[in-house]
Amino acid sequence: MTRPSRSRSASISTSTSISASGRRAAALAFAAALCSLAGTAAAQPVDKITIGIYAPSVEFGAAQARLAYVQGIARAIEQATGIRTEAQSYANLIVLKKDAVDFAIVDGVCYATNLGWRLLATANIGGGTTRPWALYSSAGDTMQELKGKKLAYIATGCNDAGFIDNAMLESEVDPAFFGARSGKPDLTAAIAEVASYKAAQAVFAPVGTARGLTKLFDTGAVPNPAFVDVNSKLPASLVERVAASVQSFGGAGAIAGWSKPSREIYTALAARMGKVVKTGVLAASEPVRIDARDALIDPPSLRDSAVVDIRHHFVRPAGGRME
């Protein structure tokens, strides 16, 4: 009676073992299928690249010129990669982000506030990757003459207050110093607000761009626009080919060319855009030590001819003590 029982138990055990092995095999097969599908999806070729531009601090002169420039870069990328490449110019960074472009040319201030994007190239303007900026005025040649006046600025939407109050004015001027602030869509419009329309009396601009206005003081260097990888999911080899084609793009006009990425200039600007609270420094004074010779009095020489000349007389100071 016990032998059949053991045989049945062994049979059940074997059946359970086979069932567990089957489940494990099925799970492994399912995982392999998922990996295969993922690999197939990753291997799908890229059939289109989109390039956007938002660079309001660059003097393109007109929206058509800005669009024409980015279209030229798109053609260069398409020729280098063999992939259809489209270009679009944007009036603000919010829409550029919403459209989910693959790559973008963004203003230096905007990249300084979006450092998570991978930097692929830095624009060359005026022979460098940065430009010196200054405060220009139409209402006098001193800062005090601007108190209560209106300031025109480029409204990038990329921490404009931090750029003006901290990066440009080094946290030295109260935000209420200017009576009002007028945000304009680009550099040309901001300068015209002061120089032509007379609707504002001051503007921050790259040195040499605000013709006809008085430069009050330099405010430091600001990095030029950055070419960045916005998508971050494209194949690395494709991104490298895009970066190489941009760095070799000469073009013409407001942006003379592109250099290899220089992230440090943008991180430095990001640091300057933070408020700095300055306090006085108290230094411990050094103790004053008096040399014993400073306590000696050198009286006039005696003029009595009967007395031997004495060059110096040492006199004990009143109430003093010499040791």
CATH number at residue 113: 3.40.190.10
Q: Dihedral sign, CA of 198, 94, 112, 229?
A: negative
How high is the pLDDT of residue 192?
97
Per-state percent for the chain, helix, strand, coil, to nearest 5: 35, 20, 45
> What is the domain extent for residue 166?
131-223
**Cα separations (Å) of 57 from 89, 136, 205, 278?**
14, 15, 8, 30
How high is the pLDDT of residue 20?
53
Q: Mean pLDDT for the chain?
A: 85
Q: Which of 7-16, 34-43, 136-145, 147-156 has the lowest mean pLDDT?
A: 7-16
Q: Which of 93-102, 287-296, 314-323 has the lowest mean pLDDT?
A: 314-323
How high is the pLDDT of residue 278?
73
Q: Is residue 118 part of a domain?
A: yes
Residues 68, 188, single domain; the answer is: no
CB distance 88 to 50 below 8 Å: yes
Q: Is residue 14 part of a domain?
A: no
Q: Is residue 59 part of a domain?
A: yes
Q: What is the pTM of this model?
A: 0.74
Residues 265, 119, single domain; the answer is: yes
Residues 86, 194, single domain; the answer is: no
How high is the pLDDT of residue 277?
83
* Domain count within the chain: 2
How high is the pLDDT of residue 39?
47
Q: Among 251, 272, 293, identify where a domain stops.
A: 272
Residues 138, 123, single domain; the answer is: no
- pLDDT beyond 50 at 98: yes
Q: Is residue 320 part of a domain?
A: no
Please give the average per-residue pLDDT across 148-152, as a whole number. 98
Q: With pLDDT > 70 as the criterion, what percentage of the chain qualifies? A: 74
Residues 245, 114, single domain; the answer is: yes
Position 16 confidence tier, pLDDT thresholds 50, 70, 90: very low
Q: Which of 21-25, 129-133, 214-218 has the lowest mean pLDDT?
A: 21-25
User: Residues 299-311: pLDDT tens digits?
Assistant: 555 555 555 555 5
**How far is it, in rounded angstroms, from Cα 126 to Cα 253?**
11
Please give the average per-residue pLDDT across 256-269, as a whole number. 96
Q: Among 166, 194, 223, identify where a domain stops.
A: 223
Residues 136, 210, single domain; the answer is: yes
Q: Is residue 56 part of a domain?
A: yes
Q: Is residue 3 part of a domain?
A: no
How high is the pLDDT of residue 9?
42
Q: Is residue 74 part of a domain?
A: yes
Secondary structure in 3-state letters for 267-279: HHHHHHCCCCCCC
CA 55, chain centre distance (Å): 14
Between 18 and 87, the higher pLDDT residue: 87
Please give the average per-residue pLDDT across 231-255, as a whole number. 92
- Phi, psi of 215, rounded to the nearest 5 degrees: -85, 120
